[in-house]
């Protein structure tokens, strides 16, 4: 089952551009919020696995798999922007 639709990568570039224009506090807040959602989605995934199901291959969990991939992407983008931005600010000081 394809679990990483094209829209995830397309959205990541738009998301990265917007986050890159935010100040440090705002991008850090986005990262924190996205981490919280990622932990929640990962807990859902683990619940399904503990129930003996395979969310990676079973069609009935396709929505969960897509949301998991999306939130992972959102978190990676926010992490990269936050840490790239911090590095850029340090090099300018």
Predicted model pTM: 0.83
Q: Is residue 17 part of a domain?
A: yes
DSSP three-state, residue 30: helix
CA dist 17 and 47 (Å) reads: 34
Chain segment 4-24, per-residue pLDDT in tens: 789 999 999 999 999 999 999
Q: Is residue 68 part of a domain?
A: yes
Q: Is residue 92 part of a domain?
A: no
Chain segment 49-91, per-residue pLDDT in tens: 999 999 999 999 999 999 999 999 999 999 999 988 654 544 4
Q: Residue 44 is part of which domain span?
A: 6-87
- CB crowding 34-65: b at 16 or more within 10 Å, else e: beeebeebeeebeebeeeeeebeeeeebeebb
Structure tokens at 65: 């798999």
Number of domains, the chain: 1
Q: What is the pLDDT of residue 78?
A: 96
Chain segment 28-58, per-residue pLDDT in tens: 999 999 999 999 999 999 999 999 999 999 9
Structure tokens at 83: 């840490």
């Amino acid at each position: 089952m394809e679990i990483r639709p094209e829209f995830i990568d397309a959205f990541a570039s738009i998301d990265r551009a917007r986050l890159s224009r935010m100040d440090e506090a705002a991008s850090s807040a986005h990262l924190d919020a996205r981490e919280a959602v990622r932990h929640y989605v990962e807990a859902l995934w683990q619940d399904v696995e503990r129930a003996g199901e395979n969310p990676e291959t079973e069609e009935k969990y396709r929505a969960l798999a897509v949301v998991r991939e999306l939130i992972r992407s959102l978190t990676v983008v926010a992490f990269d922007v936050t840490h790239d931005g911090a590095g850029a600010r340090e090099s300018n000081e």
